Structure 1
Amino acid sequence: MILSDNMRAALMMALSMAAFTINDALMKLAAPNLPFFQQIVIRGVMITFGLFILAALWGHLGYKPSSKDRALTALRTFAEMFSTIFLLTALFSIPLANLSAILQALPLTVTLAAAIFLGEPVGWRRLLAIGVGFIGVTIIIRPGMDGFSVYSLYGVAAVIGVTFRDLASRKLSKTIPSSRVALSAALGVTVMAGIGSLVMREQWAILSLREWLLIGGASLCLMVGYTAAVGSMRLGEIGFVAPFRYTSLLVALFLGYVLLDEWPDGWTLFGAGIVVATGLFTLYRERATASKTQTGLRIR
């Protein structure tokens, strides 16, 4: 069976979302007894080493990107660094499924950011859906009400970082290897965490075998997630691929319940449902608009 580029990209997106979520769960299990930046440094060293080996085996280390791709890779790496700090801070402080529910706003924020920064057309229906989706995010966070946590806002900041990361990925040329892009991100996050550890004067702890295994497993998952996410965003149409992001919410609900004894309350699930529904509608409208545009071009 031969899969289309869209189907391959969709499978890569589902794989990356599952890998990212498993990484989050493993990092949260390892978190209680370890300094914040130490975990990121150790995980980052493992990921960087693994991606370096993969890039070498695939013959990607000698690739010379264009000046445009170098700039976009640097922007993507900075966005990865920014989102990692806020994502992990939120992860260690609120339930995994709650954070995942906030992250489901990404298709909405990517659509809005693409309209603002890339000039992509967005009709009133999608703008309305984006507005309703942001109401769903507000329901999840519930500022000023019981159950509100300031760390939910860290999750929103992570969404902003990942949005710009994905925009940069979309603008990269198709010739630059995904392993090189992922390696740059991993190296940037590792260096950033090392500097953070020095600035905060962390006293590093000795890891137990369990903690080594948890962080090692998280590193493997993140390495898979990095590579698959970059490849997915570059291989398939965003309107077709993006709905498969919602795989992460299902995985987060399952892992939160089984591994972390967490389950979101009714308001969080309700807000997540609004975000997912509006995200799917936004992506449907995006595909419908693209289809009409292509039809019009063929007629001309």
Structure 2
Amino acid sequence: MPTDRTTLAILYMLLSILLFDGMGLIIKFLSPSYGAAELSAYRNLVGLIPAGIVLWRSTAWHTAGRQIGMRQWRLGLLRGVILTFAQYFFYLSLGLLSFATTTSISYSNALFAVALAVPLLGEKVGYVRWAAVGIGFVGVVMITGPTRDGFTLAALLPLGAAFCYALVAVTARMVDDDVPTPLINLYSSGVAAIGALILALSTTGFTPLHAATDLLWIAAMGTLGGSAVLILITAYRMADQSDLAPFTYFGIPIAFVLGWVFFDEAPWGELFPGVLLIIAGGLLIIWRERRLRVRA
């Protein structure tokens, strides 16, 4: 039954959110001992394994003759470079801000995606979606608090990450339709792994392991992130994106609970009511895009 597949896809979506948050918790736990760039490098190197698995399991890739080359290879490389900085900004912010605050601000990527689609894809965005973007960004400003006494530039890091993640998503739609999605993902993951290595060597370098257990944490970080990608791709293959997108915002309360349980963080004053405006803006965009799709 289609409804059953959609329900299962939603459960997969929620599981992927938990796994991504688990990866984030490990990154935050390791941040005092290791730099954001080296953690990103470890994550990307391990992430090549699920990226390769997804590509090998892709029917479209096998049907196309298992080609590795892309006509738009420069765009593929550029997306990997952007992804490198997206991850670096996000990992760095996890070590400097509360877990829930970083996660909540990162959800503004949906707002950036709408704004970027206008110059990059030539999309026409109506007043409803622009209003949604405006509502969401008011929420972002309220959380980052540029006028608060305790404001630091670190609050802009997850915002930069959200912008870069949105740019990666929008540019994916610029790739030729006949290129399998897993191949696009492999290009991004491969370049991001190389980029993270270069970034790590040019900034903090690679820190010797403080304890043997840290190697297990690093392996778990990569495994959780890689598994989350596999499950997320599976979910989007089982149901329409418009059916799944609203459930991504469950990641915000989940992140709040996890941050409270594992790091004793409860940033009520930072998050509310700004986080509600981010969610409202994102859901309004999803609702409007779904209405437009139905009309088409």
Alignment TM-score > 0.5, same fold: yes
> What amino acid is aligned across from residue 202 of structure 2 in structure 1?
V
1:89 aligns with 2:92: yes
1:78–1:241: structure 2 CA closer, same or farther, 3 Å change rule? farther
1:192 aligns with 2:195: yes
Q: Deviation at 1:88?
A: 1.0
1:25–1:187: structure 2 CA closer, same or farther, 3 Å change rule? same
Partner of 1:169: 172
Q: Deviation at 1:25?
A: 0.9
Q: Which moved more, 1:19-28 or 1:3-12?
A: 3-12
**Structure 1 CA distance for aligned equivalents of residues 72 and 236 of structure 2:** 15
**Structure 2 CA distance for aligned equivalents of residues 196 and 122 of structure 1:** 36
Question: Which of residues 213, 216, 220 in structure 1 aligns to 2:219?
Answer: 216
Q: Sequence identity of aligned pairs in percent?
A: 24
**Structure 2 CA distance for aligned equivalents of residues 238 and 89 of structure 1:** 29
Asked if structure 2 preserves the Cα contact closer than 8 Å seen for 1:169 and 1:230, the reply is no
Task: Look up the SS of the partner of 2:271 in the other structure.
Answer: helix
Q: Which moved more, 1:226-235 or 1:202-211?
A: 226-235
Q: Which moved more, 1:255-264 or 1:237-246?
A: 237-246
**Structure 2 CA distance for aligned equivalents of residues 5 and 116 of structure 1:** 36
1:45–1:203: structure 2 CA closer, same or farther, 3 Å change rule? closer
Q: Give CA deviations for 1:136-157 in whole Å, capped at 9, x if unaligned.
A: 1000000031332211111111
1:28–1:184: structure 2 CA closer, same or farther, 3 Å change rule? same
Mapping for residues 12-161 of structure 1, pairs under 5 Å? 13-52=13-52, 55-56=55-56, 63-64=66-67, 67-68=70-71, 70-161=73-164
Task: Look up the SS of the partner of 1:32 in the other structure.
Answer: coil
Q: Deviation at 1:99?
A: 0.8
Partner of 1:298: none
Q: Give CA deviations for 1:72-93 in whole Å, capped at 9, x if unaligned.
A: 4333322211201111111110
Question: Which of residues 257, 261, 264 in structure 2 aligns to 1:261?
Answer: 264
Q: Deviation at 1:203?
A: 5.2
Asked if structure 1 preserves the Cα contact closer than 8 Å seen for 2:49 and 2:226, the reply is no
Q: Deviation at 1:64?
A: 1.4
Q: Give CA deviations for 1:139-194 in whole Å, capped at 9, x if unaligned.
A: 00000313322111111110110001111334445654444333333322221122
State the TM-score, normalizing by the size of structure 2.
0.85
Partner of 1:206: 209
Q: Deviation at 1:18?
A: 2.9
Q: Deviation at 1:233?
A: 6.3
1:291–1:57: structure 2 CA closer, same or farther, 3 Å change rule? closer
Q: Deviation at 1:11?
A: 5.0
Q: Deviation at 1:113?
A: 1.8
Q: Give CA deviations for 1:228-273 in whole Å, capped at 9, x if unaligned.
A: 4556667765544322221321221121011121111234121001
> What amino acid is aligned across from residue 181 of structure 1 in structure 2?
I
State the TM-score, normalizing by the size of structure 1.
0.84
**Structure 2 CA distance for aligned equivalents of residues 69 and 20 of structure 1:** 30
Gaps of 5+ in 1: 295-300
1:285–1:41: structure 2 CA closer, same or farther, 3 Å change rule? closer
1:277 aligns with 2:291: no
Q: Give CA deviations for 1:109-134 in whole Å, capped at 9, x if unaligned.
A: 21222233212232112211211211
Task: Look up the SS of the partner of 1:143 in the other structure.
Answer: coil
1:174–1:240: structure 2 CA closer, same or farther, 3 Å change rule? farther
> What amino acid is aligned across from residue 36 of structure 2 in structure 1?
F
> What amino acid is aligned across from residue 118 of structure 1 in structure 2?
L
The number of aligned residues is 293
**Structure 2 CA distance for aligned equivalents of residues 223 and 272 of structure 1:** 28
**Structure 1 CA distance for aligned equivalents of residues 147 and 282 of structure 2:** 26
